Structure 1
Amino acid sequence: MGERHEKLSRIDRIVNRCMWGISIISGICLVITAVLCTCDALLSKFFSVSIPNGTEWVTYLNIPVVFFAMAYIQIDRGHTTVDLLCSKFPQKVQKVIKVVGDVLGTVVCLFSGYCAMRLTADKFSTMTKSSSASNAFVIWPFVLIIAIGFVVVGAAFAWCIVRDILKNDAENAEEKEEVTP
C-alpha cells in the first residue's frame, strides 16, 4: 500500500504545482494592477492626465487576481469549512462536513463555470466593450477568465474529494496491515 500512497502523493504534488502556476498569473495581474494604479495616481497629480480606461483595466484585472488564486488556496489549505466550529465535532462528522462542502463546491463552481462559458459566447458574439469610450476594449476575455477560474476551482474541489478518499483508504489499509500479524 506504500506504493499507492506514493502515487497519490506524486499526483497531489503535480496538481498542487499546476494550481500554484495558475496562481502566479493571479500575482502578476495584482502587480500590474498596483503599478497601473500608482502610475495613474502620479500622472493625475503631477501632470493632470490619467491613463485611458485605467479604472476599467483595474476592474477587469481584478478578475484573474481572484479567480486564479482560489484554486490554489482550495488545494493547499481548503476553505469550505470554519475550523473553529468544525473542530468541535467528532472526527467522523468533520470528515462528512468536509466532503459535503467539497461536493457542493464542485457542483456550484462547475455550474457557474458552465454559465460563464455561455456568457462568454454571448459577449464574444456581440463584442461587448468595457465602456462607450472610443478606446474601450472588449470584455469577453475577462468573462472567459471567470469561466476558466470557476472550472479550475471546481476541479480543485473535486481533487480534494478524491485525495481525501484515497488518503483515507491508504491509511485504513496501513492500519489493517499493522494489526494483522
Structure 2
Amino acid sequence: MKSVQTANTETAADKKEVVLLAVLEKISIRLNTALAVVAGASMVLICVLITVNVIIRKFVSPIFGINEMVGWLSAITAGFAIGYTQIHRGHVDMDIVVDKFPPLVRRTIYSATHLISMVFFAFVSYQLVVYANNMMKEGTLSETLAVIYYPFIYLLAIGFFGLTLALFVDSIKFIIKGDHK
C-alpha cells in the first residue's frame, strides 16, 4: 500500500513540474515572439530610413542623425531577436562533436552550457539595467541628435532577459525530458 502511495505522489509531483514547465514555456514563447515582431518592425524601419536617405541624398542633404537612428534600431533588432532565435534553434550548435559522446556526457555538456549561458545572459541583462540607470542619472544625450538614449539600453536589457528566460526553459526541459531539441 505504501509503495502505491509513493508512486501516486511522485506522479502528482511530475504533473506539477510538467504544468509549470508548460506555463513557463508559454510565457517565454509569447514574450520572445512579441520581441521578434518588434525586431522585425525595427529592421523594416532601418531599411526604409536607409532607402529614403539614399534617395533624398541625390536632391538635398541626407537625413540628419541617421547613423544614430540606425544604430539604435540595429541594437533593438539584434537584442529582441536573440530569444526567439534560441527558441527556434537558429543559433550555431556543436552537435557534430557532442552527439558522438555517450548520453550521460552529452547531458552533462548540454546542462553545463545552458547553465553557463543562462547565468551569463542574466548578468548581461542586469548590467544593461545598471548602465541605463547611470545614463539616466547623468542625463547623457546622444552626440548628434541630443536624444536621451537610456530607454534603448533598457529595451536591450529586455531582449537579453527574453534570451535568459528561453535558456531557463530549455534547461528545465532538458532536465525533465532529457533532450535539448
Aligned CA distance change for structure 1 residues 109 and 10 (closer, same or farther; 3 Å): closer
Q: Structure 1: how far apart are the matches of 2:153 and 2:64?
A: 21
Closer/same/farther in 2, CA of residues 121 and 13 from structure 1, 3 Å limit:
closer
Counterpart Cα distance in 1 of 2:64 and 2:171: 45
**In 1, distance between residues paired with 2:80 and 2:53?**
25
Name stretches of at least 5 consecutive residues in structure 2 with no aligned partner: 1-10
**TM-score of the pair, normalised by structure 1:** 0.80
Deviates more, 1:67-76 or 1:27-36: 67-76
1:2-151 correspondence to structure 2 within 5 Å? 4=15, 7=19, 8-9=21-22, 11-45=24-58, 47-77=59-89, 79=91, 81-131=93-143, 133=144, 135-151=145-161
Provide, for residues 11-46 of structure 1, a one-character-per-residue CA deviation record: whole Å limited to 9, x for no partner: 53443233112111111111111111111111112x
Secondary structure at the aligned position of 2:140 is classed as coil
Amino acid at match of 1:34: C
**2: CA distance, partners of 1:39 / 1:59:** 16
- Change beyond 3 A, Cα 1:150–1:15: closer
Task: Name the SS for the 2:64 alignment partner.
Answer: coil
Identity of aligned residues (%): 27
Distance in structure 2 (CA, Å) of the matches to 1:10 and 1:150 = 20
CA distance in 2, matches of 1:119, 1:72: 24
Tell me which amino acid in the other structure corresponds to 2:34.
Answer: G
Q: Distance in 2 between matches of 1:78 and 1:39?
A: 31
Instruction: Tell me, yes or no, if structure 1 residue 155 matches structure 2 residue 165.
Output: yes
Structure 1: give runs of 5+ residues left out of the alignment: 170-181
Query: How far did 1:92 drift?
Result: 2.4
Q: Report the TM-score, using the length of structure 2 for normalisation.
A: 0.80
RMSD: 2.4
Q: Give me the whole-angstrom Cα distance separating, in 2, the residues matched to 1:79 and 1:93.
A: 22
Distance 1:98 1:81, change over 3 A: farther
How has the CA–CA distance of structure 1 residues 164 and 82 changed in structure 2, closer, same or farther, with 3 Å as cutoff?
same
